[in-house]
Amino acid sequence: MTVSTVSIDSAFFLQAFSELAAIGRDPSGQGYQRLAWSEAEREAHRWFRDRAQQLGLTVWSDAAGNSFADLESQAHRPALAIGSHLDTVPYGGAYDGGYGVVGALATAEAIQRSGLKLARPLRICAFTDEEGPRFGTGLLGSKAVAGTLDMELVRRAQDRQGTTLKEAMARFDLDLEDLPSAAQTQPNFWGYIELHIEQGPRLEQRHIRTAAVTAITGIRQVSLHFVGKTNHAGTTPKPDRRNALRAAAETIARFSPWVDGQEELVANPGQITVHPNAANVVPGDVRLDWDVRSPDPIRLNTAVQHLMAVAEDVSRPFHITVESQIFHDVPPCPMHRDWVEAVQTAADRLQFSCDRLVSWAGHDAGVLGRVMPAAMIFIPSRAGVSHAPEEYSTDEAMLDGVQLLAQTAADLLTQEEKS
């Protein structure tokens, strides 16, 4: 195999990153408001397409509002896709998503300048609505490309102001009913590599410059509905109290230590709704929502079943019934083994330390990785903070990641076609 070396233009990357960082800042100065289908997010997409056009890339977009830019070569072959998303959570940071898109632009610039003979096109992707807080439709853009979008869910989607997703898309001349057509381009994707900040503390703590992600966690969200009997807090005799909140609390107290003793598993009791929610009333109706994550499908199943069993066990003595419902389910997605190796090989060549990490956050790569080879590169996040204005990675760390992406992409793009 011939070894091709590329080197990124640091000034190009930093300049482009600062241009994107000017779009969608919250007026208070506290982070970003580039929510999906906002003016700011669409402006970021326009900026991306303009920037890519200046590089001479072929710019296009699809029915999901995703933006793409192709560095053409051997157009009959499917493209190596690289990129991330341009939307943020409310009061989000400048790095989550945007870093990967700008890093992909700098990679295309480096590969174009290198004059390497490419065996296939390189495609930069800027996906729509990865985060999903506005409409509850996270990973919308990549799901549309993967053909795994739940159209029932997106038809029902509306934000807190009552604006439907259909209306929000129509403002930008897109028709919600056209979303499935975005999957038509999928055969034209060879695979996908996403560059991203870690959003956790592991790389910083271990003083490691980069990571190849081995798997993206599965996420299962479970709602436990405890039904007891609403009654007077003072006059109800102790043996007759059917306090649903007490059963919910016992569930948290019993299940959480079990999770602490498990490998590759996290579980978060994150939301509780108590009815009627008054100090002088024995609550007869409580909903407790959990978020359970594991990169291992068997561990994930076992944990969710155990959670439901614990809830029933602790409820029985209080004469409380429990109904469990899974309301969000994303299966774990292993990254492609050969591509994880490709990232490692490139890191070795660059003499960058490179860890192997599971991603405990969801990503577009976890959606596309179900229908095509996928890989991810992580760089350190300061203090592991993300989805907050304090989100930060140094320029040096960002440039490391871009250089690693460029080298990995160059290696894969110059690979001889297997006959």
**Segment near Zn ion (CB under 5 A); pick from 12-20, 90-98, 257-265, 267-275:** 90-98
CA separation for the pair 192, 139 (Å, rounded): 15
Minimal distance in Å, beta carbon 124 to Zn ion?
Answer: 16
Closer CB to Zn ion, residue 105 or residue 314?
Answer: 105
Q: Which residues contact 307 (CB under 8 A, 6 or more apart)?
A: 222, 224, 251, 255, 267, 290, 292, 324
**Segment near Zn ion (CB under 5 A); pick from 97-105, 138-146, 274-282, 380-388:** 97-105
Closest among 202, 123, 200, 135 to 162, alpha carbons compared: 135
**Segment near Zn ion (CB under 5 A); pick from 62-70, 92-100, 227-235, 368-376:** 92-100
Closer CB to Zn ion, residue 70 or residue 364?
Answer: 364
Closer CB to Zn ion, residue 194 or residue 250?
Answer: 194
Angle, CA 378 vertex, CA 396 and CA 67 arms, to 5°? 95
Minimal distance in Å, beta carbon 95 to Zn ion?
Answer: 9
Angle, CA 87 vertex, CA 383 and CA 36 arms, to 5°? 140
> Encoding tokens for residue 87?
């939307």
Contact 276, 283 (CB under 8 A): yes
Quickly list DSSP for 173-207.
T--GGGGGGGGGGGGGEEEEEEEEE--SSHHHHHT
**Segment near Zn ion (CB under 5 A); pick from 56-64, 88-96, 265-273, 288-296:** 88-96
CA separation for the pair 94, 91 (Å, rounded): 10
96 binding Zn ion? (CB under 5 A): yes
92 binding Zn ion? (CB under 5 A): no
Minimal distance in Å, beta carbon 66 to Zn ion?
Answer: 15
Contact 90, 41 (CB under 8 A): no
Closer CB to Zn ion, residue 141 or residue 191?
Answer: 141
Residue 63 per-residue DSSP state:
T
Closer CB to Zn ion, residue 220 or residue 363?
Answer: 363
CA separation for the pair 384, 241 (Å, rounded): 44
Minimal distance in Å, beta carbon 277 to Zn ion?
Answer: 35
Minimal distance in Å, beta carbon 204 to Zn ion?
Answer: 18
Closer CB to Zn ion, residue 96 or residue 250?
Answer: 96
Closer CB to Zn ion, residue 96 or residue 355?
Answer: 96
97 binding Zn ion? (CB under 5 A): yes
- Report phi then psi at 360, rounded to 5: -90, 0
Closer CB to Zn ion, residue 194 or residue 400?
Answer: 194
Minimal distance in Å, beta carbon 101 to Zn ion?
Answer: 10
364 binding Zn ion? (CB under 5 A): no
Closest among 332, 348, 334, 99 to 209, alpha carbons compared: 348
Minimal distance in Å, beta carbon 166 to Zn ion?
Answer: 25
191 binding Zn ion? (CB under 5 A): no
**Interface ranges with Zn ion (CB under 5 A):** 96-97
